């Protein structure tokens, strides 16, 4: 049943991207969503890595229906699945059709998500690897863009490429950067300092660095169990760091908004 939105909670929509595959986008998106839910926010998660559907594995669910059905007209309540306090609009593993949707179908997908906005406070979008049109559309549609970067040169370059296309193609003016799989705070600081220098020099974009997430073997163990990290090992260093990340996002000034979408994305038709 649709319910009125709680006015005391900020409406926020966070798209988690990062250019490179394997940097921890899905891990961070999922655990961030659950951390938001644990904080009392009604949280919706959308898997826009449409043909890979990693979130199903990380959540330990095997949905009967997917976004493909929703796009074909199946009511969303038959497609949404609940797990660990969040609801997920799942993708479909191995679906070439879903993986290759064009821009008008992408718009319909965003409209479907919009139609759920009365039932949820917070939206977390998991974005596929790469800087193609689809990834850039989803990464740039939401009020908050969060880019994951790892301490390795290729990840740095791909995070910069993501920030660049968000700035140039989507006119994003602000993005959050999260260093993941770091082995020390100094390493995280060096990484974000280098990225900041590039962004400040070449892009019309401001970045805010969020608390880093350490390299933690429990991340892989949780994935093997099909249980989200912050449920499987709530006291693991990476789980603590993700809760800290959720808190840092909550208090950041970019958070409060009446819509999940940026004005630019809305102007392009994302919410029509
Ligand atoms: N902080 C971390 N510490 C250790 N392993 C991690 C961490 N973050 C991610 N991983 C591992 O890296 C791999 C890729 O993570 P995933 O979230 O699927 O990345 P992406 O969605 O960017 O492709 C997985 O095997 C995951 O367990
Ligand atoms: Mg992923």
pLDDT of 252: 76
The interaxial angle of helices 133-141 and 103-114, nearest 10 deg, is 20
CB distance 179 to 215 below 8 Å: no
The torsion angle over the Cα atoms of residues 181, 50, 35 and 171, rounded to 10 degrees, is: 80
Domain ranges in the chain?
Answer: 11-266
| CATH code of the region 11-266 | 3.40.50.300
Question: Which of 17, 18, 23, 24 has most ligand 1 atoms within 8 Å of CB, for mutation?
Answer: 24
CB 150 within 8 A of CB 83: no
Per-residue pLDDT at 250: 84
Rounded CA-CA distance 14/195 in Å is: 21
List phi, psi (to 5°) of 172. -70, 130
Task: Decide if 67 contacts 90 (C-beta within 8 A).
Answer: yes
> pLDDT tens digits, the chain, 272 residues: what are they?
333 444 445 679 999 999 899 999 999 999 999 999 999 999 999 999 999 999 999 999 999 999 999 999 999 999 999 999 999 999 999 999 999 999 999 999 999 999 999 999 999 999 999 999 999 999 999 999 999 999 999 999 999 999 999 999 999 999 999 999 999 999 999 999 999 999 999 999 999 999 999 999 999 999 999 999 999 999 999 999 999 999 999 887 654 467 899 876 655 654 44
Residue ranges lining ligand 1, Cβ < 6 Å: 18, 21-27, 54, 129, 180-181, 213, 215-216, 219-220, 223, 238
Judging by DSSP bridges, how do beta strands 122-126 and 43-47 pair with one another?
Answer: parallel
Mutate which of 20, 27, 182 for ligand 1? The one with the most ligand atoms within 8 Å of its CB, which is: 27
């Amino acid at each position: 049943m649709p319910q009125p939105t709680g006015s005391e909670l900020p409406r926020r929509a966070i798209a988690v991207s990062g250019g490179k595959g394997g940097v921890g986008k899905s891990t961070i998106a999922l655990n961030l969503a659950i951390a938001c839910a644990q904080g009392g926010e009604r949280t919706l998660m959308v898997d826009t890595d449409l043909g890979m559907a990693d979130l199903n594995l990380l959540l330990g669910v095997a949905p009967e229906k997917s976004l493909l059905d929703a796009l074909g007209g199946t009511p969303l309540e038959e497609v949404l699945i609940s797990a660990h306090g969040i609801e997920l609009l799942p993708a479909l593993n191995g679906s070439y059709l879903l993986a290759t949707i064009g821009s008008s179908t992408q718009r319909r997908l965003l409209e479907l998500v919009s139609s759920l906005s009365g039932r949820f406070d917070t939206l977390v979008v998991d974005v596929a690897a790469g800087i193609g049109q689809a990834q850039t559309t989803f990464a740039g549609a939401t009020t908050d863009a969060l880019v994951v970067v790892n301490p390795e040169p290729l990840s740095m370059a791909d995070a910069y490429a993501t920030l660049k296309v968000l700035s140039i193609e989507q006119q994003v003016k602000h993005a959050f950067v999260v260093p993941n799989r770091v082995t020390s705070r100094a390493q995280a600081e060096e990484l974000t300092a280098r990225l900041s220098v590039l962004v400040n020099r070449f892009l019309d974009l401001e970045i805010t660095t969020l608390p880093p997430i350490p390299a933690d073997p429990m991340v892989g163990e949780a994935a093997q169990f099909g249980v989200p990290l912050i449920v499987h090992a709530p006291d693991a260093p990476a789980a603590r760091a993700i809760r800290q990340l959720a808190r840092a996002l909550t208090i950041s000034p970019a958070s409060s908004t009446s819509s999940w979408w940026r004005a630019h994305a809305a102007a392009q038709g994302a919410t029509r």
